[in-house]
Structure 1
Amino acid sequence: MAQAELTRGLDADAARRPPAAIGEAALSAASPRWEGLLPWQARRVRDYVDGGLDGRPSIRGAAEQARLSPSYFSRRFRQSYGVTFSRFVAHRRIERAQSMMVGSSSSLCQIALACGFTDQAHFTRTFGGLIGATPSQWRRIAVRPGDEINAIAYG
């Protein structure tokens, strides 16, 4: 009779499952799954990337900042930002280069090296692929008074 009282409020399938499975089913149905990085993880990863743009920020180092395994971090990162980690790093490097091109008279080669590109050719290829113009073209337009430049922005 005790078994009948316990199972009276449950459906037939739930009564046959072990108690742990019932709790898991209720938990998964009741609470939505979090997708992407948590806010504190995204902030720490962004700070890690921004602090290491002149070097080589790695996915392993970023995963350590988020306290996740590299493979799980990659999946969560893409869910948060919509791009891969390496693409995100390239975007951040280009953003830094754009601010340096507008704010200083340094040569493009110096800016490329300061932003972590291996050489000016690598910088020009990456910049052109993301922005649609060469760095020198973009710089000429950006320093003209009255022109508005739309810099890329992530996070």
Structure 2
Amino acid sequence: MTQTGAFGQRLGQVLHLKDAPPSLITRSLRSVELVVTETRDDNPVPGLSGSFSAEDAFLVSLKLRDFPECELWENGKCLMKRDVPAGATYLYDLKRDPRYVIDKPFHSLFFYLPRSALDGLTEQSRTPRVGEIACELGVGHDDTVIRHIGASLQQGLRRPDETNQLFIDHMMLALTAHVAQAYGGLRPGTELARGGLAPWQMKRACERLESDLGGTLSLQQVAAELDLSVSYFSRAFRVSTGLPPHQWLLRQRVKAAKQLMAVRDLPLSEIAMSAGFANQSHFTRVFSFAVGVSPGTWRREKHSGR
């Protein structure tokens, strides 16, 4: 499910990469693209990075490799040199033309966050619009939330066929809310889904999700059918089920696979595809984690009567 997308192509050009880097994309806030992209070059051609076109958007970058004595530029001027440690998070305002001298190997995750997505978040949660995002050149943040989100999405970038859209939507929505609160001063709204979904909403949402075990549906599509915002639906669904939609869907896949293994002598590879998994390896990994034994072991024990 990785996509190149316009942002991935632009970022590849800015960093002088030979190929456009892999990206995961969601459009759950105002239908604008939120993107995460992994960039890496172990043998870069030295030179100043390119420029993005100025726009009202931000980059959030999680550094995955040390980059000592990084020469940082803004608005066409070299302003400072800073050591950039692995594990740190940096924020950049694309209106200021952030650039740096590429003269060492680099490895980073970049999250593309347009202002319109932040506005969509505050509209949905009925909170005041986010003002300035704290983008201080050369200032890194020890942000455990972004490290966690980054590690989760990095797995998705490496196994794109196994990554469902609900998971991408959920993680990018969480990232947007975290950036707005931690760096934009947003306070959580009072519009909380304390009671969860109504029974008819729950029934329809579950039927819709179960109709697409492969996970190509987006949160926006499901929420729109219930006439709810994405953020409200995500919270209410979790209140009702105890799980976010993407994890609930994984459980339904496991349940479907158990039903197929219990009544039909099908090859595990066919069961994997029928239950919405990308392949047999994906099926085995998810099933073993959820159930505690491999699919083959579970089926043998089931048919032996234990």
Normalised to the residue count of structure 1, the TM-score between the two structures is 0.69
Larger helix proportion, structure 1 or 2? 1
Shift of residue 52, structure 1, vs aligned partner: 1.4
CA distance in 1: counterparts of 2:286 and 2:194, whole angstroms: 33
Unmatched 5+ stretches in structure 1: 1-32, 148-155
Task: Work out whether residues 260 and 271 of structure 2, in 8 Å CA contact, stay in contact via their aligned partners in 1.
Answer: yes
1:65, distance to aligned residue in structure 2 (A): 2.8
- Code of the aligned partner of 1:79: V
- Which residue is equivalent to 1:131? 291
- Alignment match of 1:35 (pick from 187, 192, 195): 195
Q: Indicate the larger mover: 110-119 or 57-66.
A: 57-66
SS in 2 for 1:116: coil
Over the aligned positions, Cα root-mean-square deviation in angstroms equals 1.5
Q: Which has the larger radius of gyration?
A: 1
Residue number in structure 1 paired with 2:303: 143
Work out the CA distance in 2 between the residues paired with 1:130 and 1:56.
22
Give how far 1:69 is off: 1.2
Per the alignment, residue 7 of structure 1 pairs with none
Match of 1:44 in 2: 204
- Structure 2 residue aligned with 1:66: 226
Q: Equivalents in 1 of 2:199, 2:225: separation in Å? A: 12
Provide the identity percentage: 35
1:75 aligns with 2:242: no
Residue 270 of structure 2 is aligned to residue 114 of structure 1: no
**Mapped partners of 1:40, 1:94: distance in 2:** 24
- 1:60-110, Cα deviation, whole Å (9 max, x unpaired): 222123221111100111111111111000000100000001110111110
CA distance in 1, matches of 2:237, 2:215: 20
Rounded to whole Å, the distance in 1 between the matches of 2:272 and 2:280 is: 6
Asked if structure 1 preserves the Cα contact closer than 8 Å seen for 2:223 and 2:230, the reply is: yes
Tell me if the contact between 1:56 and 1:116 (Cα under 8 Å) persists in the aligned partners.
no
Change beyond 3 A, Cα 1:101–1:138: same
Q: Is the 8 A contact 2:210 2:252 kept in 1?
A: yes
1:54, distance to aligned residue in structure 2 (A): 4.2
For residues 111 and 67 of structure 1, do their structure 2 counterparts lie closer, same or farther at Cα, with a shift above 3 Å needed?
Answer: same
Q: Secondary structure at the match of 2:265?
A: coil
Between Structure 1 and Structure 2, the one with more strand by share is 2
Matched residue of 1:68: which SS?
Answer: coil
Residue pair 2:272, 2:278 contacting (<8 A) in 1 also:
yes
Q: Is the 8 A contact 2:194 2:239 kept in 1?
A: no
Rounded to whole Å, the distance in 2 between the matches of 1:53 and 1:68 is: 22
Number of residue pairs aligned between Structure 1 and Structure 2: 114
How much does 1:34 deviate? 5.4
Aligned partners of 1:42 and 1:66 also within 8 Å: no
Q: Is the 8 A contact 2:194 2:236 kept in 1?
A: no
Unaligned runs of 5+ in 2: 1-192
- Contact in 1 for aligned 2:209/2:217 (Cα 8 Å): yes
